[in-house]
Amino acid sequence: MFDSAIIGGGPAAMSAALNLKIRNKSFIMLAGNEKVTGLSKAPSIDNYLGINSISGAELLLSFEKHLRDMEIEKKNEMAYNILNMGDYFAINAGSNFYDAKTLIIATGKAKNSLIEGEERYLGMGVGYCATCDGPLYKNKAVAIVSENEEGEEEARFLSEICSKVYYLPLYKTSFEEINGIEVIKAKPISVIGNENRVTSLSTSKGNIDVDAVFFIRNVLPVNQLLEGLELEDGSIKVDRLMATSIPGVYACGDCAGKPFQISKAVGEGSTAALSAVKYLDSSVEVK
Amino acid sequence: MFDSAIIGGGPAAMSAALNLKIRNKSFIMLAGNEKVTGLSKAPSIDNYLGINSISGAELLLSFEKHLRDMEIEKKNEMAYNILNMGDYFAINAGSNFYDAKTLIIATGKAKNSLIEGEERYLGMGVGYCATCDGPLYKNKAVAIVSENEEGEEEARFLSEICSKVYYLPLYKTSFEEINGIEVIKAKPISVIGNENRVTSLSTSKGNIDVDAVFFIRNVLPVNQLLEGLELEDGSIKVDRLMATSIPGVYACGDCAGKPFQISKAVGEGSTAALSAVKYLDSSVEVK
């Protein structure tokens, strides 16, 4: 049981980690797919006080170095789903499960790009983690819609189980057809189904008959991550101390709203961590 | 007429300045007495992401360098009073006056150390700026209660006008009696007066008969700075975008509440500046 789990790996998450470490709290940092970050592409950043005229990539390196110096480990695992167990949280990170007394959510800018039917059929054929739910579709046809290369591994895994895997990459890739994987370069339009099951995926190049559609996203829709999190204008609703609508859960950085700035994310990460520490120190120990 | 006036000179104020500069807004930064800062005394700071194991003094130097590199000037002037003129703000900084369309208040941790009678007699003998109000007490006896060396200059100035100046330093100093200045090492207890005027200052070493008491503070009580600013738990009440209860006025850093952390102050400074920019860009031009 960790004192805290940090969900994310960007500036807000890293800042939260520093503060938890300094306050001697045990924590796990689930950074997800590290390759994906807007910051690493910024040509020049001038408004992070104390570090002038630096590229986003270099600034990230200095952030990473700070974490290494303090012996903080980022795990390249993605949290797919979190259950509120009352006095702790159970985190499903694909092949691993973790328990933590508090959560610090720093998943970055939420994308409101759910396609039609995606939410409607969630858990009825729509999923976000092929590793988790794949076995349910043994000998069936499935589609994977992926925003990044992680989906290719998921496709290989599913091709061992399923009768057919359709792979729709939403990024540039030279990924090729192998053993029952068919790569389709098309835009997904909607998930179609009957009353309680997915039956097909509609795309810009026609319909594909499948029993399941997995979406591999850079950022998971936050309301899929943890049930009951109150949102406001598409971001996680927080107060000035970064507390969300769920006790013990804090959010920081872009997922907690505008402006999308590094210094704001870093400041909020620090505040979220200190609020979690306060919560932990005032809580009765979980047995 | 400036687009914005930044009141303060610490991390939040500096971060706000960077962002206003990048956004091409005209502004003035009234940093007050620079010598006074808690940050400069911190032996080691480990939780400002990207800059590890640094003393407060060194971190401040890197902040100051960033400002110089961007050609941002800090003025060592203190804002004593600000009037809300409806579509702009008039700032009294002692011998200078400035007008600005927006305000960014970053005055640091508010101290709730008003002494008895101080607020009661404000403007009736109690003042915060000897340079401003001194001439009203020509040939009269006044007391100066000062938290820093700035008070010594004020005392010298008043000694040329007033019949007698009592100087109560609340810091270590070797400041000596000269031309009608009497240094009293005592704790001020209360301001005493009749219905509408100050008559004396009560101290730990007895009463002193005076017509005025000037308090020279490191941080001005924020509700003396600008009338109508809503407070909450002794801090300036702000929303998530750093907007205060007065349109066009933003607050950031320690004066906007806990936690008192550099990264939080820096993040909020950035947000406050961006909110001011948005306000300016959406406002009708002041003629």
Of A212, A203, A211, which Cα lies nearest the Cα of A183? Answer: A203
Check: CB of residue B79 under 8 Å from CB of residue B225.
yes
pLDDT digits (tens, 9 = 90+) for B260-280: 999 999 999 999 999 999 999
Q: Is A261 on the interface with B (CB under 8 A)?
A: yes
Query: A163 and A92, same structural domain?
Result: no
Query: A7 and A49, same structural domain?
Result: yes
Q: Is residue B181 within a helix (H) or strand (E), and if so which, with residue range?
A: strand B181-183
Among B180, B200, B216, residue at a domain's last position: B216
Which amino acid is located at A239 in the chain? Answer: D
A90-119 average pLDDT score: 88
Distance CA B112, CA B233 (A): 11
Distance CA A255, CA B93 (A): 40
Query: A269 and A228, same structural domain?
Result: yes
B153-179 average pLDDT score: 91
Check: CB of residue A33 under 8 Å from CB of residue A76.
yes
Disruptive mutation site among B49, B233, B260 for chain A (greatest number of A CBs within 10 Å): B49
Of A35, A37, A39, which Cα lies nearest the Cα of A150? Answer: A35
Disruptive mutation site among B235, B244, B258, B263 for chain A (greatest number of A CBs within 10 Å): B263
Q: What percent of chain B has pLDDT over 90?
A: 73
Q: What is the pLDDT of residue A112?
A: 58
Collect all residues with Cβ–Cβ distance below 8 Å to B239 and sequence separation of at least 6.
none
Residue B118 lies in a domain: no
Q: Is A49 on the interface with B (CB under 8 A)?
A: yes
Query: B173 and B81, same structural domain?
Result: no
Q: What angle do CA B96, B102, B105 make, to 5 degrees?
A: 75
**What's the total number of domains in chain B?**
2
Distance CA A189, CA A118 (A): 10
Residue A230 CB neighbour total at 10 angstroms: 11
pLDDT digits (tens, 9 = 90+) for A172-183: 998 888 888 999
Contact between chains at B18 and A69 (C-beta distance less than 8 A): no
Q: What angle, rounded to 10 degrees, do the helices at B11-22 and B56-69 form?
A: 20
Q: Is A253 on the interface with B (CB under 8 A)?
A: no
Q: Is residue B209 within a helix (H) or strand (E), and if so which, with residue range?
A: strand B206-209
Residue B120 lies in a domain: no
**Three-state SS for B24?**
coil
Check whether B116 has a pLDDT greater than 60. yes
Among B180, B198, B216, residue at a domain's last position: B216
Of A259, A220, A252, A226, which Cα lies nearest the Cα of A237? Answer: A252
Per residue, the 3-state secondary structure of chain A, as one string, reads CEEEEEECCCHHHHHHHHHHHHCCCCEEEECCCCCCCCHHHCCCECCECCECCECHHHHHHHHHHHHHHCCCCCECCCCCEEEECCCCEEEEECCEEEEEEEEEECCCCCCCCCCECCCCCECCCEECCHHHHHHHHCCCEEEEEECCCHHHHHHHHHHCCCCEEEEEECCCCCCCCCCCEEECCCCEEEEEECCCCEEEEEECCEEEECCEEEEECCCCCHHHHECCCCEECCEECCCCCCECCCCCEEECHHHHCCCCCHHHHHHHHHHHHHHHHHHHHHCCCCC
Query: A145 and A67, same structural domain?
Result: no
Chain A residues with beta carbon closer than 8 angstroms to that of B238: 240
Query: A229 and A166, same structural domain?
Result: no
- Give the mean pLDDT of chain B: 91
Check: CB of residue B32 under 8 Å from CB of residue B49.
no
Determine whether B54 is exposed, middle or buried from the number of CB atoms within 10 Å of its CB (0-12, 13-18, 19+). Answer: middle
Query: B130 and B102, same structural domain?
Result: no
Of B11, B84, B39, B50, which Cα lies nearest the Cα of B256? Answer: B11
B121-125 average pLDDT score: 90
| Interface pTM, i.e. ipTM | 0.79
Most confident of A123-137, B8-22, B127-141, B144-158: B8-22
pLDDT digits (tens, 9 = 90+) for A12-63: 999 999 999 999 999 999 998 765 567 877 888 999 999 998 999 999 999 9
Residue A246 lies in a domain: yes
Distance CA A240, CA A234 (A): 18
Check: CB of residue A3 under 8 Å from CB of residue A257.
no
* Location of structure tokens 């009463």: B207
Distance from CA of A243 to the nearest CA of B (A): 12
Q: What is the pLDDT of residue A36?
A: 52
B234-261 average pLDDT score: 95
Query: B207 and B226, same structural domain?
Result: no
Pairing type for strands A141-146 and A212-216 reads parallel
Residue A190, beta-bridge partner list:
A116, A202
pLDDT digits (tens, 9 = 90+) for A178-232: 888 999 999 999 999 999 999 999 999 999 999 999 998 877 777 778 988 998 8
User: A97 lies in which domain range?
Assistant: 2-110+220-282
Residue A149 CB neighbour total at 10 angstroms: 15
Name the pLDDT band for B285 (thresholds 50, 70, 90).
low
Query: A161 and A66, same structural domain?
Result: no
B82-107 average pLDDT score: 94
Of A53, A54, A56, which Cα lies nearest the Cα of A42? Answer: A56
Determine whether A40 is exposed, middle or buried from the number of CB atoms within 10 Å of its CB (0-12, 13-18, 19+). Answer: middle
Phi, psi of B42 (to 5 degrees): -70, 125
Q: Is B66 on the interface with A (CB under 8 A)?
A: yes
Q: What angle do CA A264, B39, B53 make, to 5 degrees?
A: 75
Contact between chains at A240 and B261 (C-beta distance less than 8 A): no
Residue A121 lies in a domain: no
Which residue of chain B comes nearest to A63, CA vs CA?
B50
Which amino acid is located at B265 in the chain? Answer: A
Which residue of chain B comes nearest to A68, CA vs CA?
B52
Check: CB of residue B55 under 8 Å from CB of residue B43.
yes
Disruptive mutation site among A24, A52, A263 for chain B (greatest number of B CBs within 10 Å): A263
Residue B121 lies in a domain: no
CA A88 to mean position of chain CA atoms? 20
Name the pLDDT band for B177 (thresholds 50, 70, 90).
confident
Who has greater pLDDT, A87 or A110? A87
Q: Quick check: bond before A259 cis, omega within 30?
A: yes
CATH of the domain at B160: 3.50.50.60
Query: A186 and A130, same structural domain?
Result: yes
Q: What is the pLDDT of residue B35?
A: 59
Residue B74 lies in a domain: yes
B221-240 average pLDDT score: 87
Among A177, A198, A216, residue at a domain's last position: A216
pLDDT digits (tens, 9 = 90+) for B38-90: 787 788 899 999 999 899 999 999 999 999 999 999 999 989 889 999 999 99
Q: What is the pLDDT of residue A41?
A: 78
Query: B6 and B104, same structural domain?
Result: yes
Query: B9 and B63, same structural domain?
Result: yes
Contact between chains at A274 and B263 (C-beta distance less than 8 A): no
B209's tokens: 């008969």
Of B234, B228, B235, which Cα lies nearest the Cα of B268? Answer: B235
Distance CA A89, CA A208 (A): 37
Q: What is the pLDDT of residue B287?
A: 44
B140-151 average pLDDT score: 93
pLDDT digits (tens, 9 = 90+) for A232-287: 888 999 999 999 999 999 999 999 999 999 999 999 999 999 999 999 998 755 44
Q: What is the pLDDT of residue B126?
A: 92
